[in-house]
Amino acid sequence: MKGIWYWPTNEKDQTKVLREIHASEPILAALTALSKSKDGLSNSQLDTTTVSFSQWNCRPAIDQLLALGFIEYKNELFGEAGRYTLTELGKNILGILTGQPRQSPVTQTPPKTI
């Protein structure tokens, strides 16, 4: 499947991925929409906010952002819709793409296993 699926450790490769993200309207639209939401967005809210009005258009962008580690999905209890939220890495990347200063180094550490 074609797309952006991992965040490289090499700075040169990171720059290349950032260019690809900047050129991808659905990915950039999803990142921007999530940055404006304090509590995150559900599937339908994200779909409506990005004005794609088709889960077929929105879903590949979400899958790539999840794979890159820029967003995370939080399940809600008691039947409420789960929500996507930006991770710290995603917030830093969005700052770089929009021209805001970088808050902290862009590194991704693997989750700790318990």
Q: Are 26 and 60 in contact (CB under 8 A)?
A: yes
d(CA 9, CA 13): 7
Confidence of residue 110 (pLDDT cuts 50, 70, 90): low
What CATH number has the domain spanning 11-98? Answer: 1.10.10.10
Position 50 scores a pLDDT of 78
pLDDT tens digits, 34-75: 999 888 999 888 888 877 656 667 888 899 999 999 999 999
The residue among 23, 113, 31 whose CA lies nearest residue 68 is 31
Q: Is the pLDDT at 84 greater than 90, yes or no?
A: yes
Q: Is the pLDDT at 101 greater than 50, yes or no?
A: yes
Position 44 scores a pLDDT of 84
Average pLDDT, the chain: 83
Residue 73 β-bridge partners = 84
Amino acid making up residue 3: G
The domains of the chain are located at 11-98
**Which tokens hold the place of 2?**
């074609």
- The rounded Cα 38 to chain-centroid distance in angstroms is 15
Q: Cα–Cα distances in Å, from 108 out to 9, 39, 48, 69, 81?
A: 8, 23, 30, 8, 27
**Which tokens hold the place of 107?**
């590194």
